[in-house]
Amino acid sequence: MQSTDALMFITTRPEVVFVRGEGSWLYDAQGTKYLDFIQGWAVNALGHSPKIIRDALAEQAAKVINVSPAYYNEPMRKLAGLIARLSGMGKVFFTNSGAEANEGAIKLARKWGSLKKDGAYELLTFENAFHGRTLATMAASGKPQWDKLYAPKLPGFRKLPLNDIEAVRAAIGPKTVGVMLEPIQGESGVVPFTPAFLQDLRRLTEERGLLLILDEIQTGIGRTGTMFGWQQSGVQPDIMTLAKGIGGGVPLGALVAKESVACFEPGDQGGTFNGNPLMTAVGLAVVGEVSRPAFLAQVTENGYYLMTRLRALSKELSLGEVRGQGLLVALELGKPVGSKVVDEALAQHLLINSPRPASLRFMPALNVTPAEIDAMLATLTTVLRKEL
């Protein structure tokens, strides 16, 4: 039995085994270098194994790794304070993944509904949404492939079309407690909600006394060029979830809520590893770095550069739309050749992702350089010329 055979089969993986990473680059066991525009799925905000994270891990590991969630620890308190200050939302609960943060958001909404809205529990969510892989977050998601998987499905979610405020208005009933969405749907192919829709949605949820929950797991922590995706439209939610970029590569997430909504009572929510000092020390280092105005300005600038170059390439090769915000970008290919392009790019030592059969997604490190963007485009151009 090969050691890989001992892994439960959940996806087809290429043969390559990565042994080392540095910034935008990964190295396999033979020392071959790969340019990484996936970065752990928009996770490694500062690239592979940056000094700032290695130092935070080493310093915290030398002090204390775990004290149990029954006690305060220093990095947990500091990171909560920093997120509260950056978001203007007063309360933070740390998690170990995005799905767990969303699961917590759903629980918090149901608890709030039981206290403030006569037991209302239903969340309005959206077609093609992705909120995670626990049973509740799968039910909240709008992936058609999941409709029948792991039945029976957790009730209490209703799917709506995107950017249609009248559909939201019509769906609100006595059991509705709130609306949950990603400002830009990442997994479904970088599909944005319009600022006008988000602003209308904020107005509507306020009028009807409903919670607005934003899943910022992919769009948060600088990915779009602002600290949180909602800062692009100025629509502050009542509840926000973070993960992916917040740990820069280590498992960390956060459930963030306005003080008025944070209604958990002792015993309602918890978890063995939640807020452990080793992970929150890394989060503190990452969030501190990403939230610097100069860092965010550079994300915006490099995002424009990436999109401008992709638009020129799209024009040259008669491809489709380029869309996104900051360094979360998609290119429409016009034909369902996404997975062939991904395979050929890997053969040419470039890692990119195809979230849909006819589209590519780019989610480089937030500190990617223009030279690395140029290198990605050079390889991509060769690959597309060959595969189209």
Ligand X SMILES: *Cc1c(COP(=O)(O)O)cnc(C)c1O
Residues labelled as active-site residues? 130, 215, 244
CB of residue 242 vs ligand X: minimum separation in angstroms? 10
What is the number of helices (H) and of strands (E) in the chain? 11, 17
Choose one: 31-39, 64-72, 96-104, 161-169; the region binding ligand X (CB under 6 A): 96-104
Beta strands in 187-290 (DSSP E): 191-192, 211-215, 239-242, 253-257
Residue 5 identity: D
Burial of 184 (0-12, 13-18, 19+ CB in 10 A): buried
Choose one: 215-223, 296-304, 311-319, 351-359; the region binding ligand X (CB under 6 A): 215-223
- Taking a C-beta distance cutoff of 8 angstroms, is the pair 342, 354 a contact? yes
> For residues 297 and 312, what is the distance between their CA atoms, to the nearest angstrom?
23
Question: 40 or 90, CB closer to ligand X?
Answer: 40
336 preceded by a cis bond (ω within 30 of 0): no
Q: Is 98 in the site for ligand X (CB under 6 A)?
A: yes
Of 90, 114, 374, 381, nearest to 236 by C-alpha is: 90
Q: Which of 93, 121, 130, 157 binds ligand X (CB under 6 A)?
A: 130
- Could you say which DSSP state residue 35 is in? E
- Identify residues 240-269 at the interface with ligand X (CB under 6 A): 243-244
Q: Is 275 in the site for ligand X (CB under 6 A)?
A: no
Q: Is 182 in the site for ligand X (CB under 6 A)?
A: yes
Q: Which of 35, 76, 99, 342 binds ligand X (CB under 6 A)?
A: 99
Q: Which of 47, 156, 178, 186 binds ligand X (CB under 6 A)?
A: 186
Side-chain-side CA neighbours of residue 87 (13 Å):
32
Q: Which of 21, 104, 113, 132 binds ligand X (CB under 6 A)?
A: 132
Question: 244 or 309, CB closer to ligand X?
Answer: 244
CB of residue 253 vs ligand X: minimum separation in angstroms? 6
Q: Which of 218, 233, 274, 280 binds ligand X (CB under 6 A)?
A: 218
> For residues 385 and 48, what is the distance between their CA atoms, to the nearest angstrom?
30
CB of residue 101 vs ligand X: minimum separation in angstroms? 8
Q: Which of 48, 110, 117, 131 binds ligand X (CB under 6 A)?
A: 131
CB of residue 143 vs ligand X: minimum separation in angstroms? 11
> For residues 351 and 144, what is the distance between their CA atoms, to the nearest angstrom?
27
CB of residue 20 vs ligand X: minimum separation in angstroms? 24
